[in-house]
């Protein structure tokens, strides 16, 4: 739905023309600054999520394919004339070449907040405030939050036709720039979301925390993600305590209500955000921390590890040893029930590689992984069960292989066997005494032993009788 006009202090929705060629959208009437209905809708949607941003940031969020920020700036000015947005402050940024740029910060009016709710298809009461006070003070933290959201979104640039403005030469059409996959759309994101440790969402109590950003996408691989943006203004102990407050909020439960209630309590957060039930039982939703302050790699690593050390009880879980297995190895699993998976990165890596790149370090690990791998638990009970099943399968395969080898050996022995010529029993080559070179067809063990015994007895008898016979012979002769 496109926002096109304002009546009095409120706003109204007026029919907008269809999309024009080359990605340009036409409105029902020409605006003073030449913005299209599409541009104004994008500005409202972006500010409805981040609350305060510069024209350059809004461009990165929703329309990076435009030649420059002038298109967004025109949309902001036209919306300002309509009473939907206002500029209540300025922000300063440093360009890569060292130049300091000062830009207007744009935010929504109360009427603009309602209009943005329509664009984002949200209930107005879920939109939060207008952040006018933050814009007036320069909104340093809010600006970093917006930069972080742009890095998460990685909005692909759509080619647009050059905008012709009076007295200017139209900029040449830009070739689309390849960007890594992002985590979107922008409507799936919210900023400055209260998470009540006590009190309610509308009136959080003491000790509550406010998430800088929340991504929600039910029925996907990542249904819920909380994001904390660290500007380096808080000490590691304060940031670690904030992780503890996230855990206390996620552990908070309330009585189950509604027609589907079956008794018992449910997690408070699950009454607002929907995730697959198994995940709810196994672990809390993950928390991503994006460090934005420019510092040396060594200093950044020190800060990350200090926060990790101070918050270890919030994310580590409990190790259970399952004993020694048949192959002699010791194994076990880590129980992540009730802890918060924490992943960290820096803004530069997020901007360069996108949220799905190998930029995340899971607290408790020392390697950088993709988002999927960082959030996986290769040492939890499920993974242990998989390993245990693999071990059982390997043991069964070994048993079957040994049984097969035994059967093969038995068939070879049966094929090489013969009947004993004395008793008819089967004689196997392996049953012959060590070193025996008798050809097949010989006696069996029993008959051979009997024959050997008879021969020995005959030899002994002969040894005993012959001396007497000789004596008798010589006596008579």
pLDDT, one tens digit per residue, over 441-460 is 788 878 888 888 888 888 87
**Does residue 210 carry a pLDDT above 60?**
yes
Lowest mean pLDDT among 35-39, 51-55, 96-100, 325-329: 325-329
Lowest mean pLDDT among 114-118, 120-124, 242-246, 300-304: 120-124
Model pLDDT, residue 440: 75
Model pLDDT, residue 21: 32
Model pLDDT, residue 164: 57
Lowest mean pLDDT among 193-207, 220-234, 245-259: 245-259
Q: Would you place residue 18 in the very low, low, confident or very high pLDDT band (cuts 50, 70, 90)?
A: very low
Percent of the chain surpassing pLDDT 70 = 79
Model pLDDT, residue 476: 58
Read off the pTM: 0.76
**Counting beta carbons within 10 angstroms of the beta carbon of residue 223, is it exposed (0 to 12), middle (13 to 18) or buried (19 or more)?**
middle
Per-chain mean pLDDT for the chain: 82
Q: Would you say 234 and 144 are in contact if contact means Cβ atoms under 8 Å apart?
A: no
Model pLDDT, residue 212: 95
**Does residue 148 carry a pLDDT above 80?**
yes
Q: Which residue has the higher pLDDT, 69 or 257?
A: 69
Q: Would you say 213 and 191 are in contact if contact means Cβ atoms under 8 Å apart?
A: yes
**Does residue 37 carry a pLDDT above 60?**
yes
- The CA distance from 130 to 85, in Å, is 10
**Does residue 436 carry a pLDDT above 60?**
no
Q: Would you place residue 22 in the very low, low, confident or very high pLDDT band (cuts 50, 70, 90)?
A: very low
Model pLDDT, residue 168: 60
The structure tokens listed for 302 are 């020190």
Model pLDDT, residue 10: 35
Q: Would you place residue 276 in the very low, low, confident or very high pLDDT band (cuts 50, 70, 90)?
A: low
The structure tokens listed for 218 are 């039910």
- The CA distance from 100 to 92, in Å, is 7
Q: What is the mean pLDDT of residues 378-384?
A: 81
Model pLDDT, residue 198: 94
- The CA distance from 446 to 424, in Å, is 11
Find the length of the chain: 477
Percent of the chain surpassing pLDDT 90 = 47
**Does residue 28 carry a pLDDT above 50?**
no
Q: Give the best-scoring range by mean pLDDT among 42-51, 325-334, 392-401.
A: 42-51
Give residues with Cβ within 8 angstroms of 376, minimum separation 6. none
């Amino acid at each position: 739905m496109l926002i096109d006009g304002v009546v009095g202090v409120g706003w109204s929705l007026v029919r907008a023309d269809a999309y024009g060629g080359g990605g340009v959208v036409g409105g029902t009437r020409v605006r003073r600054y030449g913005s299209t209905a599409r541009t104004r809708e994008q500005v409202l949607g972006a500010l409805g999520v981040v609350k305060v941003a510069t024209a350059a940031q809004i461009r990165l969020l929703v329309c990076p394919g435009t030649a420059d920020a002038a298109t967004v700036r025109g949309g902001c000015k036209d919306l300002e004339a309509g009473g939907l947005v206002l500029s209540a402050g300025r922000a300063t940024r440093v360009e890569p070449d060292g130049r300091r740029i000062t830009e207007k910060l744009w935010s929504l009016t109360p009427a603009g907040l309602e209009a943005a709710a329509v664009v984002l298809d949200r209930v107005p009461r879920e939109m939060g405030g207008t952040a006018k006070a933050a814009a007036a003070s320069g909104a340093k933290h809010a600006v970093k939050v917006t930069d972080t959201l742009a890095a998460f979104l990685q909005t692909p640039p759509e080619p647009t036709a050059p905008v012709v403005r009076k007295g200017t030469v139209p900029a040449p059409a830009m070739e689309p720039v390849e960007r890594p996959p992002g985590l979107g759309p922008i409507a799936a994101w919210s900023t400055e979301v209260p998470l009540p440790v006590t009190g309610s969402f509308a009136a959080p109590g003491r000790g509550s925390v406010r998430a800088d950003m929340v991504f929600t996408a039910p029925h996907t691989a990542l249904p819920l993600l909380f994001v904390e943006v660290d500007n380096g203004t808080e000490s590691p102990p304060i940031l670690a305590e904030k992780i503890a407050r996230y855990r206390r909020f996620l552990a908070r439960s309330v009585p189950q209500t509604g027609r589907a209630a079956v008794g018992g309590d449910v997690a408070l957060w699950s009454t607002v955000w929907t995730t697959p039930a198994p995940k709810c039982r196994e672990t809390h939703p993950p928390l991503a921390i994006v460090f934005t302050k420019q510092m040396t790699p060594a200093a950044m690593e020190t800060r990350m590890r200090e926060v990790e050390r101070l918050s270890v009880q919030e994310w580590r879980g409990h190790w259970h040893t399952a004993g020694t297995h048949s192959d002699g190895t010791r194994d076990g699993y880590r129980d992540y029930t009730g802890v918060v998976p924490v992943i960290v990165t820096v803004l530069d890596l997020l901007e360069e590689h996108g949220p799905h790149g190998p930029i995340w370090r899971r607290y408790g690990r020392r390697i950088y992984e993709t988002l999927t791998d960082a959030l996986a638990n290769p040492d939890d009970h499920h993974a242990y069960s998989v390993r245990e099943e693999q071990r059982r399968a390997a043991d069964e395969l070994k048993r079957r292989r040994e049984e097969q080898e035994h059967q093969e050996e038995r068939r070879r022995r049966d094929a090489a066997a013969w009947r004993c010529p004395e008793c008819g029993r089967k004689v196997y080559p392996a049953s012959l005494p060590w070193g025996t070179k008798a050809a097949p067809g010989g006696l069996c063990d029993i008959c051979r032993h009997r024959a050997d015994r008879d021969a020995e007895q005959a030899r002994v008898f002969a040894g005993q009788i012959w001396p007497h016979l000789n004596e008798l012979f010589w006596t008579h002769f």
